[in-house]
Each structure stands twice: as structure tokens, then as C-alpha cells.
Amino acid sequence: MKRILVAVLALAFLPTRALGHVRYVSEGSDPLTEIVEFLLSVLTEPLNAVLLGGGALALTLAVVGYLGLRPLDRDLRVLRDRLSDYERYLPWMLRLALGLPLVGAGYAGYLFTPALPGDARLLQVGLGFLLLFGLATRAVALAGLIAYVGAVVVDPGVLLAFEYVGGFLALALLGSGEPSADDLLKRVADAEGTAFGGVDPVHRAAAALNDALAPFERYAPLAVRVPLGVTFVGLGAWEKLANPGRALSVVAKYDLTALVPVDPGLWVVGAALVEIAVGLCLLSGVFTRAAAAAAFVVLTTTLFGLPDDPVLAHVTLFGLSSMLFVTGAGPLALDGRLAAATKPLRRALSA
């Protein structure tokens, strides 16, 4: 049985071997072997197995109970109705969530992610301030996306900040919203008899782009959901499970076992499984608002639990999670299908 488990884990983590160039538990050892041994050492510990199995069982029962009974159905309906009133502020939320980290990255001297030092101050600060002002937002968002793709070509490590893709795409689809410089200038330009209205270089130049992207605004939640889901899966699978040595050193550095007295390995595996589960829910569009709320809690816990963590670099994750809590899954999600598929279960439990 143990040999079968080793083989399964080896196949599961085979793709990470190609990524390489990281340190695992010990020098000079095979990375894949280290990952498998780490997982076996955690999962075969009786107390760890009981805790993980009990947690999985409790979560499963909670999900089945919720789908069957819908105990807070009325509350959630009211919440969704209220959240729909906030959708007008989504562009402003996204502009803050991207603009502030970009300005911070430019002045701090790193390229999108603190893990990659780089001198792109003029580019990042310029993009950030234009987004904060809300000036030519769709064009600036597309320029930011192009800059990000270019940075990935130069150094694939920029993929650590993959959430920027979702933010840029969503802003390109939604536009600047209000309050913004775009909205202010448009009001002046549309007013009868204004001198600026006779020139209006901003909106005349952006009219074609706005007309081309506006019909696709409804896909903004999808544009955010997929990159954010990929980011959380990467945080769990790559930064923790595929790098157990580094993850264990974080647990030791911040004495996290004093906060929750469990085995350090269980800390790493548990945190990884939570992040992977959140990411998969976001990717598939299942329990999207709950997953977005869980993502916000995970990020907040990191903020207070790791005092020297680069908080500004996580602002984009906070903003994108908040947006999905407001919008829900959007198109091409399983939330609607799940609700329809569980109707027989609800009828059976309520009978």
C-alpha cells in the first residue's frame, strides 16, 4: 500500500520537477523524493491522519447539509440583493487594488512581485497613477497586461503575481467607472457649450476601444475568477507542498505551532489544502462567494500572522477577492448547475 501511495504522489508532483531551481528540505537530494517523503511523513502520522480526515468529513457533511437544507437561504438572498448595489463601485475597487501595488512596486524596486527585484519605476508608477486617477482606464489596463506578459517573457518568476492578469482584464472590460477622471472629463465634454467638449481628446481617442470591449463587461467576474483561482492553487501546491523545506522554515520562524499546537508538517499540508480548495472553487465557480470570503480570511490571517510579510503586494488579492464576493461567479460557472442538481436532495431532506 505504501508503494502505491508513493507512486501516486510521485505522479501528482511530476510536473513540479520540471520547474526546478528551488531548495527543498536538504541539499543535494532529489526534489521529487523530498516532496513524497514529506507528504508520507505527515499523512502516515496517526494524529495528523485523524485531524485531516475529521476535517474533511466535517466539511463534507456541512456542504451536504447546506445544499440539502439551505438554512440561510433568505439571508443570502437579501445579501446578494444588497451586494448588487455595490457593483457600480467595482471599477473603483479594482483601480485601487492594482494602482496602489503598482506604485508601491515601482518605488520599492521590484517587478510586480517582491520576489523579483527590478528597476521599472517609471513604468509601474506611471501605470499605477493612471489607474488610481481613472484616466484612459481601459487602454492603461491593456498596456499593463502587455507589460506583465513582457515581464513574464523576461523572467517567468513574475507568474508569482498572476493575479494581475485578472485585474487588468477585468478593468479593460469594465472601464474606469466612477469616481474617475474619465467620468469627470466626460461630464464636462458632454455639457453643452463647454470648450473642452469641442476638443475632448480622451474620449474621442478611446471611443473605438470602449465600444469594442463594453459588450463583454459581463465576463469580468470570469476574468478575475480564473487567474485568482490559479494563484491560490499555486500558493498551496507550489509554495508549500512542492517546497516543504521553505514552508517548514516559515512555520518555525513565526512559531505558528504556538498559535495552533499541531505538527509543523500538518500546518504546511493543512494550509496548502485550504489554499488549493479555495483556488479550485474559484476556478470552477463553485461556492464562489464563500470561496472569495475564505480567500479574504486567509489573506487577513497572513497579514496579522506574518508581521514582516509584504502587505502591499497582497492588496491586489484582497481587491479581487472582494470583487468576487460582490459579483459571484459570473458566466461559465458551476454554481447555477449545482443549485439545480441539488433540488432532489433538498426535497428529500425537507420531506
What the block records as the C-alpha cell of 24 is 527543498
Nearest CA among 277, 305, 309 for reference residue 292: 277
Q: For residues 52 and 270, is the Cβ–Cβ distance under 8 A?
A: yes
> In the predicted model, is pLDDT for residue 15 greater than 90?
no
For residues 160 and 113, is the Cβ–Cβ distance under 8 A? yes
| Count of C-beta atoms within a 10 Å radius of residue 198 | 8
**Any idea where the domains of the chain sit in the sequence?**
35-63+222-350, 87-221
CB 151 within 8 A of CB 161: no
Read off the pTM.
0.85
DSSP line for 99-156:
HHHHHHHHHHTBSSSTTSB---HHHHHHHHHHHHHTSSHHHHHHHHHHHHHHHHHH-G
Cα 179 from Cα 91, distance rounded (Å) = 9
Mean residue pLDDT of the chain comes to: 84
Q: How far is CA 45 from the centre of its chain?
A: 32
Residue in this structure with the C-alpha cell 483556488, named with its chain if needed: 279
User: Per the structure block, which three cell numbers stand in for 334?
Assistant: 458551476
Whether 317 and 228 have beta carbons less than 8 Å apart is answered as: yes
Average pLDDT estimate for 257-261: 85
71-74: list long-range contacts, CB under 8 Å, 24+ apart.
none
Residue 175 burial by Cβ neighbours in a 10 Å radius (0-12, 13-18, 19+): buried
Phi, psi for 316 (deg, rounded to 5)? -60, -40
What is the predicted pLDDT for the residue at 343?
66
Phi, psi (degrees; rounded to nearest 5) at 117: -60, 140
Q: What's the pLDDT tens digit per position in 261-291? A: 889 999 999 999 999 999 999 999 999 999 9
Work out the pLDDT band at 71, boundaries 50, 70, 90.
Answer: confident
pLDDT of amino acid 69: 78
Secondary element (H or E) of residue 249: helix 244-253
Task: Give the Cα separation of 169 and 159 in Å (integer).
Answer: 16
